[in-house]
Structure 1
Amino acid sequence: MAESPPVHVEILSNARNIQIGEQNNYIVNGNQYISNDQATLIQLLLPILDASHTRDRETSPPNSACFPGTRTDVIRTIMAWANSTLLWNTHVLWLYGYVGCGKSAIALAVALKFEERNRLVGSFFFFRNTGDRSRMTRFAKTLACQLAAAIPEAAPFIEKAVKAEPGLLKSNLVAQLRHLVYEPFKAAAKRGRLLKTFLLKGPFLIVIDGLDECEDRQDVQAFIDDMLQFFKRNPLVPLRFFITSRVEQHIQGHLENDQVCLTNLVNHCSRKDINTFMLTCFEAEKLRNPVIRAYIQEHGDWPTKEDKDQLVDHISGSFIFASALFKYIVDPTNKQSTPMDRLPHTLNMSPGLDTLYKQTLSRSQDLPYFSNIISTLALLFEPLPIIGIAELLRIETFEVVRVLVNLQAIIHIPGTDDLPVTMCHTSLRDFLTTESRSGCFFAPPSFHLYLADRCCNLKEEQRSGTAAASYVTSHFEEHLKLCDPLPLRRFASHFPQALDALYAHILAKSRDLPHFSDILSTLVFLREPLPIVGLAELLGIEVSEVSQVLANLHAIIDCPGIDEDRPVTIRYTFLCDFLRIRSRDYSVSPSY
């Protein structure tokens, strides 16, 4: 084959006195930025990169998007509010509704529409048990980084705030939001380009989805209260918040006021939307599935109009229920029955997801390690890949795959073993951790002890560089902290060496700090517990020195804040036995 002629390329051919230095490429909120100033800001703020609407939803749930042709009315309503003048409408809209009614899908749709209009400041999609995405720790810093990417005029004000107050990035949530998000946006909004955009097109928007999925309830309340106070002081700032969540008391009590537009998604759940979704899904499945096509040739159309109408009525407006039911009906891994057999069963299921969860889980119930794998998925603090679950539980990878492959209607199983296994919806975790609902599938709190023991074993093996090893480093103590005293006592009587190893591992973190031995001995031998200030006064040392020693021991010692009057207490009486009797390295002498 003849060679192609050489390609002539000129780069900066007319440039003079040009200096090219090193540049870094970053993707923030779906956009690529190569400014070294912006790179510095990203390195300073350390945002969560998979929290926005642009994340890979396959690996970072919720994996929800509006089905084409559905939810148009409610999206139109939200867009009308978002585009309306600040003089006649609120700065905040709260969309609330029950589990699975499509809040996250609508949040995604609204974020995408505002991104197209260049008026999206940022978005944050909370999701329970996913590490930082279920906390408020990096919420403000992530929004600030998105703000700097979407509105470059705000970046200098953010950087100035960080440099002016070095402790800002470790301060409380309210201070971070004010100095990194609200004030920089307010300052940038006075510039020509943003002012013109606002006057011609309307306000800018921040989308917050799944606020109820955030575990830091006090910070959630502080965020809401401070946000409303900011808008009260600055009624003309061209910024709005669109927030979605379930109805939770700590959210409802703070958002139900005249500064917030309240929208109940139940009032916008259309039977027509569910019908469109199910009809399109079944038509696509007919083209894909030869068994269904053969059945139709012999028996006529399937499902019949009567069955489809019954199914839509049975679903009653819940998109997550509709999606899960459809996956259950056409499940390609179920070789015991056909979709035609399973459709009548779904019509007899109790409305809601619990019956569907039980039906699906029962398919793997008798397989080896089923209970351990399901309990692990329910109680992990952040998702692990298949290979990480296998390493944590010390079983073969294929054993995990064998259990999960039957559960694809309710659990998202990635295409490779190194991507995290996630639940299709957090309601499955609620189901598994509520005994009255899940029955024999219940994941008991005592399983935290088993996970803590497995974490300790991995620590002793000094593994590194794996997903499980990384998880152990971050979450070992959290599992131990959530152990119930009664099962822990039983565990101690049967496996004292394993529990002693857990204690020793935790105590080692503070062992080399000043006054460690005195503080530990005092806690063991006090007739009644004292607060931190009392311990410091009794020992004649600084309060900060007591606090520093106790900071690493939260898993085994209940340690309130310095300003609190609550006493410092040892969580488990058998820790005292360990320190008095069995420990060599941490023993406390009766002579103390």
Structure 2
Amino acid sequence: MQQSVQALSDNAGLSTLPYAAGAAYPSGEDEHEPLCLLNTREDVLNHISNWAAIGKRILWLHGPAGMGKSTIARTAARRFLKQGRLGATFFFKRGAGDRSNASRFFTTIAFQLSAKLPTVKRLLAKAIKDDPSIIGKPKAEQFERLILEPLSAMNSLSLQALPLIIVIDALDECDNQDDVKRLLQLLEQCTSTDATRLQILITSRPELPVDLGFRAMSKELHHDVSLYEIQENTIRADIATFYKHQLPKIAEEHKKAYGIELPPNWPGAESLEDLLNMSTPLFIFAATVCLFLADTDADLEAGLAAILKEKHQISRLAQTYLPILRWPLSRPRTNLSDHEKRLRIKQFREAVGPIILLASPLSTSALAKLLGIREHDVVRRLNPLRSVLNIPRNNDDPVTLLHLSFREFLLDEALAEEFLVDEQETHMDLARMCLEHMRKSGHLRKDICKVQAPGTLREDIDAQTINNALPADVQYSCRYWVHHLSLCPDLSLYRGQVLSFLKGYFLYWLEAMSLMGRMLETVSALDSLWLLFSNDEVDELENFLLDAKRFLLQNVWMIGQAPLQTYISALIFAPERSIVREQFRMEIPCWIRLPPKMQDSWDALLQTLEGHENWVNAVAFSPDGKQLASASYD
């Protein structure tokens, strides 16, 4: 009985850990992502197996885009899982919300390790119970308390004969370069002691932040393998095996669908040789070609001819993507006029431009609402692109890129030609659409979830109720409107719009962010707005931002706990001359007939740090003065 109670207590504690959905292997988000085919990539997979058996603590596998690093990482993770050695994984993915940054990296790794190691689970639950605020603390402290200390404290008898392995894929897709270097420093610390008994496989492009991180690491701890330096004939043989496996399947499916039988040796030795020459050493080219051919309509031969037509292109990315994008405009029997082609390309940019630049992926239904066009039109524009986009059958699941190189291709003026997406212009459009959507959707209002009782805690509101009241498109707008503004070249166009939004919707936005559990993001959003719009002469917008920041710091903890206190305690205890109080005075409930008499202006107190449930008996500043630690008997 005591053990059951302890297990329930541990599970309750672990349930508070922020978790990056889709980052672990296996995951539902990536269930259709490929593994290495049998008898392919054997050189590198054998190298990984040898490293796992007798190698150094960290293996860095690096190579340019399109060489199959993520496929190799998934295959290695699957093998380690079958061997009982997979401790945890984190598959970074740019533009995929919590997977595109390191904010939930250590909590996600810790959660997975706790599922593998019962002793770690108990120690981790105790660490969270002792300090519930650990989930919001700096990454170094999370690492020490949630990973290093529990692993180091484990009894040696509970460790298995071989170390557990952590797989970290696409580290270069973490969107903060400082975080990349910090993660590598902390992982080096984790593997520099035998107490943790971990090995770590990391894949990435050889980009400067990752490269510098490994250069600073002890050579005794890590070994690196360059995919680019693996013999070209080995890679070519693997790609040939891939084509010989996939192309007959495509021909057979084509026969079933259209009743057209292709020659037994289709596509023929010459075409296969051309495909191999175009593909080597990029597996992404071969994979994309096969996806394109599998999705091509009855004229499969014409689709193949469109691919081979680009074989003299200098850029491999252009060879990969231009035929796929041009196919809907030029395939047989289409007969589009030049005007119709220009219109289709414009519609392509309007739909795909936002997809490749969203901070977090959206479904077709949410994207349609954000863009202000019919969902049917979004689906129609995206359907020809299934070989480069993952478009789920369920229209409520997010559309994602099959490979980051497609985004890079579309943003490269030298490669994308007529399909070029203007990055700055698209961010301007997204910023405008987010602001308009928050104002006009009708979802941002007082008491968004209609709970009525002002003391209702956020944790007591059902998640489905929140998602119904704040659909995905509105949640995206609330979280990322400042992000897109920060990437606009000319902010003068938005000064009036931002002021109008804040004066009309600031409190409703705070309530929405509280309901989403994203209150801490509002502080950084206001800081960003101040940096974006401050100038030598303080105007109405800057005055509002200054007052909004004081209002928020005073109430961020309370609003995060009980969203409707935004309109009660937060407003009535604001200074009499607070701009926010004056602007939203009408939101103070009429049943508060004798509000307290408050001081005219904000005093010197910026923020009260809350969270302890007992007396604080000790405080200490970090040497650089940037962090404060507190201790209490709670």
Q: TM-score range by the shorter chain?
A: 0.7 to 0.9
- Once the two structures are superposed, residues 405-464 of structure 1 have per-residue CA deviations (whole angstroms, 9 ceiling, x without a partner) of 111121111112111111111111222233343344223313222222221222123323
- For 1:172, the equivalent position in structure 2 comes to 138
- For 1:397, the equivalent position in structure 2 comes to 375
Mapping 1:119-158, distance limit 5 Å: 119-158=85-124
Inter-partner Cα distance in structure 2 for 1:349 and 1:578: 51
Q: Deviating runs (4+, > 4 A) in structure 1? A: 18-21, 291-295, 333-337, 505-512, 547-552, 571-575, 577-581, 584-588
- For 1:370, the equivalent position in structure 2 comes to 348
- State the 1:361 CA deviation: 2.8
Read off the aligned partner of 2:82 and give its amino acid letter: E
- For 1:110, the equivalent position in structure 2 comes to 76
1:76 aligns with 2:70: no
Read off the aligned partner of 1:475 and give its amino acid letter: Y
Structure 1 residues 193 and 289, CA gap change in structure 2 (3 angstroms): same
The answer as to whether partners of 1:333 and 1:406 remain within 8 angstroms in 2 is no
- For 1:431, the equivalent position in structure 2 comes to 409
Which of 209, 232, 237 is the aligned partner of 1:250?
209
- For 1:475, the equivalent position in structure 2 comes to 480
- Which runs of 5 or more residues in structure 1 are unaligned? 1-17, 24-33, 513-546, 559-568
The answer as to whether partners of 1:94 and 1:260 remain within 8 angstroms in 2 is yes
- State the 1:289 CA deviation: 1.1
Which of 95, 100, 104 is the aligned partner of 2:66?
100
1:465 aligns with 2:470: yes
The answer as to whether partners of 1:556 and 1:572 remain within 8 angstroms in 2 is no
1:576 aligns with 2:554: no
Structure 1 residues 134 and 340, CA gap change in structure 2 (3 angstroms): closer
1:52 aligns with 2:24: yes
The answer as to whether partners of 1:506 and 1:552 remain within 8 angstroms in 2 is no
- Once the two structures are superposed, residues 113-153 of structure 1 have per-residue CA deviations (whole angstroms, 9 ceiling, x without a partner) of 11112221100000001111111111111111101001111
Inter-partner Cα distance in structure 2 for 1:163 and 1:357: 51
Which of 279, 285, 307 is the aligned partner of 1:315?
279
The answer as to whether partners of 1:378 and 1:443 remain within 8 angstroms in 2 is no
Read off the aligned partner of 1:366 and give its amino acid letter: L
- For 1:229, the equivalent position in structure 2 comes to 189
Read off the aligned partner of 1:151 and give its amino acid letter: L
The answer as to whether partners of 1:221 and 1:250 remain within 8 angstroms in 2 is yes
The answer as to whether partners of 2:88 and 2:165 remain within 8 angstroms in 1 is yes
The answer as to whether partners of 1:334 and 1:406 remain within 8 angstroms in 2 is no
- State the 1:20 CA deviation: 13
The answer as to whether partners of 1:128 and 1:214 remain within 8 angstroms in 2 is yes
Inter-partner Cα distance in structure 2 for 1:222 and 1:19: 41
Read off the aligned partner of 1:98 and give its amino acid letter: P
The answer as to whether partners of 2:235 and 2:281 remain within 8 angstroms in 1 is yes
SS in 1 for 2:309: helix
Structure 1 residues 246 and 448, CA gap change in structure 2 (3 angstroms): same
Read off the aligned partner of 1:458 and give its amino acid letter: H
Mapping 1:444-455, distance limit 5 Å: 444-455=423-434
The answer as to whether partners of 1:96 and 1:246 remain within 8 angstroms in 2 is yes
- Once the two structures are superposed, residues 457-507 of structure 1 have per-residue CA deviations (whole angstroms, 9 ceiling, x without a partner) of 22123323321012112112211222212xx33x35xxx864542454686
- State the 1:327 CA deviation: 2.6
- For 2:150, the equivalent position in structure 1 comes to 184
Read off the aligned partner of 1:245 and give its amino acid letter: S
1:406 aligns with 2:384: yes
The answer as to whether partners of 1:480 and 1:555 remain within 8 angstroms in 2 is no
1:353 aligns with 2:330: no
- For 1:501, the equivalent position in structure 2 comes to 500
- For 2:12, the equivalent position in structure 1 comes to 40
- For 1:416, the equivalent position in structure 2 comes to 394
1:557 aligns with 2:535: no
1:484 aligns with 2:489: yes
Read off the aligned partner of 2:427 and give its amino acid letter: H
SS in 1 for 2:343: coil
Read off the aligned partner of 2:251 and give its amino acid letter: K
- Once the two structures are superposed, residues 349-382 of structure 1 have per-residue CA deviations (whole angstroms, 9 ceiling, x without a partner) of 4451234323333437633633221221122100
- Once the two structures are superposed, residues 184-204 of structure 1 have per-residue CA deviations (whole angstroms, 9 ceiling, x without a partner) of 12222x34242xx22xxx221
The answer as to whether partners of 2:311 and 2:319 remain within 8 angstroms in 1 is no
TM-score in terms of structure 2 length: 0.71
SS in 2 for 1:94: strand
Inter-partner Cα distance in structure 1 for 2:84 and 2:343: 53
The answer as to whether partners of 1:333 and 1:405 remain within 8 angstroms in 2 is no
1:305 aligns with 2:269: yes
- Once the two structures are superposed, residues 538-558 of structure 1 have per-residue CA deviations (whole angstroms, 9 ceiling, x without a partner) of xxxxxxxxx999755234211
Structure 1 residues 292 and 393, CA gap change in structure 2 (3 angstroms): closer
- For 1:13, the equivalent position in structure 2 comes to none
Moved more, 48-57 or 372-381: 48-57
Inter-partner Cα distance in structure 1 for 2:229 and 2:319: 25
SS in 1 for 2:527: coil
Which of 349, 359, 364 is the aligned partner of 1:386?
364
Structure 1 residues 344 and 100, CA gap change in structure 2 (3 angstroms): closer
Inter-partner Cα distance in structure 1 for 2:521 and 2:164: 44
Which of 227, 230, 233 is the aligned partner of 1:265?
227
The answer as to whether partners of 2:151 and 2:195 remain within 8 angstroms in 1 is no
Structure 1 residues 389 and 339, CA gap change in structure 2 (3 angstroms): same
Percent pairwise identity: 25
SS in 1 for 2:475: helix
Inter-partner Cα distance in structure 2 for 1:184 and 1:251: 27
Inter-partner Cα distance in structure 2 for 1:360 and 1:504: 47
SS in 2 for 1:381: coil
Read off the aligned partner of 1:124 and give its amino acid letter: F
Inter-partner Cα distance in structure 1 for 2:539 and 2:278: 57
Inter-partner Cα distance in structure 2 for 1:147 and 1:430: 35
1:328 aligns with 2:288: no
The answer as to whether partners of 1:154 and 1:184 remain within 8 angstroms in 2 is yes
Structure 1 residues 309 and 572, CA gap change in structure 2 (3 angstroms): farther
Read off the aligned partner of 1:143 and give its amino acid letter: I
SS in 2 for 1:243: strand
- Which runs of 5 or more residues in structure 2 are unaligned? 330-341, 444-468, 512-519, 545-577, 584-634
Structure 1 residues 57 and 76, CA gap change in structure 2 (3 angstroms): farther
- Once the two structures are superposed, residues 25-74 of structure 1 have per-residue CA deviations (whole angstroms, 9 ceiling, x without a partner) of xxxxxxxxx94244213322132232111112458x8x242123211221
Structure 1 residues 361 and 261, CA gap change in structure 2 (3 angstroms): same
Inter-partner Cα distance in structure 1 for 2:534 and 2:186: 35
- Once the two structures are superposed, residues 234-280 of structure 1 have per-residue CA deviations (whole angstroms, 9 ceiling, x without a partner) of 14642111100001111101213512101111233621110000011
- For 1:208, the equivalent position in structure 2 comes to 168
Inter-partner Cα distance in structure 2 for 1:47 and 1:157: 18
Paired residues, number: 493
Inter-partner Cα distance in structure 1 for 2:111 and 2:522: 35
- For 1:276, the equivalent position in structure 2 comes to 241
Inter-partner Cα distance in structure 2 for 1:43 and 1:122: 17
The answer as to whether partners of 2:68 and 2:283 remain within 8 angstroms in 1 is yes
Structure 1 residues 500 and 437, CA gap change in structure 2 (3 angstroms): farther
Read off the aligned partner of 2:368 and give its amino acid letter: A
- State the 1:308 CA deviation: 1.1
SS in 2 for 1:95: strand
SS in 2 for 1:147: helix
- For 1:66, the equivalent position in structure 2 comes to 36
